[in-house]
Structure 1
Amino acid sequence: MVKKYSLYTISLATFLALFLVSLGYIYILTVKYRQDLLAKEIEEKINFARAFHDIRMSPRWTQLASLAELEKEILSFAPLQDIKYVRMMDSSGNIEHSSVEGERGRRIEDPGIAQAILSGKTVIQDEVVGGEKLKKIVFPWHEAGVVSVGFPLRGIEEATRTAFIRDISIALGGVTFTLLYFFLIFRSIINPVRKITLACEQIRKGNLEVEIKNSPKTEIGELASSINNMVRDLKKSQEILEETKSALEVRVEARTRELTRVADSLDQKVKEKTQELQEKINDLERFQKLAVGRELKMIELKKELEDFKGKNNE
């Protein structure tokens, strides 16, 4: 037996599938948005490191009055760029200048320094400082040093979260609208179709008292009205058929009685004719016996006559 699925089940499954697809699409968009933001942030920080490198390599760097004041002036731009720190380090990891107070002169073990210097390309790394996740840009500014820029992912995560909440809100609004639309569809189409199906099942079983109650304002309502009219016509036809059947039964019964009466009459006549025939047969048998007896008597008389003649001749 083929398994049947109701329109309600199919519609609900379709809705759930679309909802899951929408969630997946939102997730993909959110991930892509985060990647784009991160790429943009990385590009900005690389440009910042490159600008810092260009200033550091400028001939006027050594002509400026106070190195400490110049360093303070340059590194004051770091907070404006949402930067956690800016460090200028030599190839050994010794910090020559830093936006973090007290770091100058310290040494940091970082394999990204040698990698950036040897490749001549910017190295991007992940690190955690004080429990906060950072992205680190290691930019080679000459063969003996690098500019290291670390920036938090907090802004990216907040922007991603905001975008995700916005998209989810839009999706939920769409889901709410879809649910409302689905409810209206169920109320105006699926539910009436289910009523029509149940009514047709009752009609198939022979129940012609079924009446589908539905508004005739829609095509489904017109279909229900047509089925109701069809049931009424079918009921009338059945009543006419029953009346015709009853009339035919009466006529058949009368004809049967008549035929029975004729048959009984014929049977009686057959019996009478049979009796008459039997009597005639009996008469013939008696006549035959009499004829045979007479013939035998004649033979005996003839023989006696011949004997008598013989005696007279002697």
Structure 2
Amino acid sequence: MPYWISTTTCGFILSPSGAIADNMFQHSHRLRVLELSRCTFSFSSPPFLCCHSLRFLWLEHCEDLLARTSTADHHQRDAAKELDNSTMALWECFKSLWVLDLRYTHWGQILSAQMMDLMTQLRELNVMGAKNWDMSHLRGRLRNIRKLRVMKSTCCFNDHVLSEMESMELLDFSENNIIQGMTNLSGPARNNSIKTITIGGCDGLKVVTFRHCKELKNLFLKGSLGSLDKLELSGTRVKTLNLLGVEARSLPKQIILLGCEELRAILWPWSMTKKGLPKVLHIDTTSPSATAYRGEAPLVHPHVDLSLHQQKEDNFMGRWRICLTDARLLRFLGPVESF
């Protein structure tokens, strides 16, 4: 709505253009939550810089004031240059942020390395509708992040972007187009917090692995996963592998579930086809430390860590191998048994 509350008069100011005055929040030093929708302001000097107590910032369909008079590419270069040459003390408000939510607001500079270094308290980051953003700066930062959602975006990542996010509990990576960098989405090596992961319709992903994420219980796959070669969840607490929302012909070519003691069900797409069937399906629910194999014949009781088992797994030439403590799980292989 093109109406703004005036902090000086406690009345209303009409702004038909949707542009926010530079002094709109000059008396709002104690403001904690700010949501701006379809607003226009200067991205190089936003009006909320004076809000040093800001905890929650939501920007949706916002537009840069300078973008109206210059091309987008030219403005992005100017914004980056201005940020480099200015003192970062002006951006103190980002040090107190707990939640940052960006939706269809083309301000890639807000996730630059410099800005990320300020957001030491950030617990939740949501990005939707980003265009050609370089998000590789997230690696090695956001150590306190609990929830990370990147959706419906075109962006550049790298393979180890999550490697140091050891406190993350929720990850949603859906409907993204990865234009450069990341082909492997993997969880932090020492993460004992992540419980829920949603992945779907992400062009460019070839490997998804969350081995040793011991608290992982919920994994939701959806949409087209046409380029996904491997899905591995070994050593997790996943109870149901839900593939109902995945296009039948785009299932991962390899599904590895070793040491998944709590696995109870595998839900396949409704219209399963032989062409879409995983070429490699390895399931072991016998113990947290998956059973060791030599060739195709399982040994009965020896237990080894997953790293040793993985070496044997890499050399294993078989297609399907299933070792269960509860035979009821076999019924969930029914939809693919005829193939």
* TM-score above 0.5: no
Higher strand share: 2
Q: Which has the larger radius of gyration?
A: 1
Higher helix share: 1
* Higher relative contact order, chain-length normalized (CA < 8 Å, sep 6+): 1
TM-score range, shorter chain: under 0.3
